[in-house]
Amino acid sequence: MTKKKWLLGGAVLALVGVAVLLRGTWTSDNAAARLQTRASQTVPVDVATAERKKMPVKLDALGSVTPMASVALKSRLETEITAVHFNDGATVKKGDLLFTLDGRSLEAQITQIEGALARDKAQLAGAERDVARYTDLVAKSATPIVNLDNAKTQQDVYRAAIKVEQGLIDNLKVQLSWATIRAPISGRISAAQVKVGNLVRPADTSPLATIIQVSPVYVSFTVPQKSLPDIRQAIAAETATIEAVIPGDKKRATGTVTMIENTIDPATGMATIRATMPNTDELLWPGTLVNTEMTLRVEDSIVVPSSAVQISQTGNFIFVVKDGAAKVQHIEIARQVGHETVIASGLSGGETVVTDGQLLLSDGKPVNVRTPKTAAGS
């Protein structure tokens, strides 16, 4: 019995030792598995720093380019076009000769009246001599005074005729000047609607051509009436500037606000703003739709990349990296400027925010910050 007890005890001890050994191996394997699982749950993310810097307060709107001046050229004579002195679509300067019309009829009329004027001037000279002669004879009582009165009347008739004829000549010369059509303003001219040989009349509805001033030009756009106080303050402080961007073009045209319409459209609650653009490079073309960016002022702001901002049912939030984990931080957005978002509240500046990888994140999720590509490349 004693020997059996010893054998049974040894067997029990052997089983206990094997169990302890197996438990230790299983525990170490389980810990390694937990570490591996935890490592696999770490989310790789890209991050940026919430910066405090000066940012512009902008107002975006859709606008259109309108010319400062536009002139439709029309004939004031009923006659024929004899010459066109410009190329279609060319740039013309004020005073440039554009069209020549047939003015030979007016020239003939002027010549005719000039002849009549010379005749009446000669007759006036004769009448003046008669007045002088009759004046001497009346003084000597050698002729009735009625002869002197008749001579003076004839003198006045010739003087009046000369004035009429001179007026007719001046009028015809004005009409003859209409036979040469010159550019009243500088700008771009359209294609000539009529060519040499066409008969034109003042009653024609379509113009011969149209000139549009392209430098400077206006850009007009509408803004909500609630924005008017800020705009008026910016104009008073001389900080209101305008940038116009043509869709698909990287270039920007700059200008200044020069007018606020004196009434607000009661149907839409919108106010019309007009800016003057120098447009020396003719980037803005009349009639073009443009995106306008009006800078009202510059303010100190906290800024993050727009890719960091997330939206949920409870509002906007950002993942902030702290102690190797992502924390949900609710924020309020003031505005967006380009690819950056200005934060009104929720951040104080200097925080590390997640910009990429948010889909796998939750509050308290461990993160692994990836090396920026620029740093990796250097």
Class of domain 43-53+300-377: mainly beta
The topology under which CATH files domain 75-101+179-212 is OB fold (Dihydrolipoamide Acetyltransferase, E2P) (2.40.50)
Q: pLDDT at residue 69 above 90?
A: yes
Query: Model confidence over 156-185: pLDDT tens digits?
Result: 999 999 999 999 999 999 999 999 999 999
User: What pLDDT sits at residue 284?
Assistant: 93
Q: pLDDT at residue 360 above 60?
A: yes
User: What pLDDT sits at residue 56?
Assistant: 85
Q: pLDDT at residue 6 above 60?
A: no
Report how far apart, in Å, the C-alpha atoms of 341 and of each of 50, 219, 227, 276 are. Answer: 10, 27, 20, 29
State the alpha helices, DSSP H only, in the chain: 2-41, 104-139, 145-177, 228-236, 373-377
Cis before 372? omega within 30: no
Specify the residue for token string 């000769």.
97
In CATH terms, the superfamily for domain 59-68+213-299 is: Efflux pump adaptor protein, beta barrel domain (2.40.30.170)
Query: Model confidence over 25-52: pLDDT tens digits?
Result: 444 555 554 545 554 578 899 999 999 9
Averaged pLDDT for residues 351-372: 88
List the chain domain ranges: 43-53+300-377, 59-68+213-299, 75-101+179-212, 103-178
Residue range 103-178, CATH number: 1.10.287
Nearest residue to 209 via CA among 184, 185, 195, 192: 192
Choice between 113 and 300, residue whose per-residue pLDDT is larger: 113
Which pLDDT band holds residue 12 (cuts at 50, 70, 90)?
low
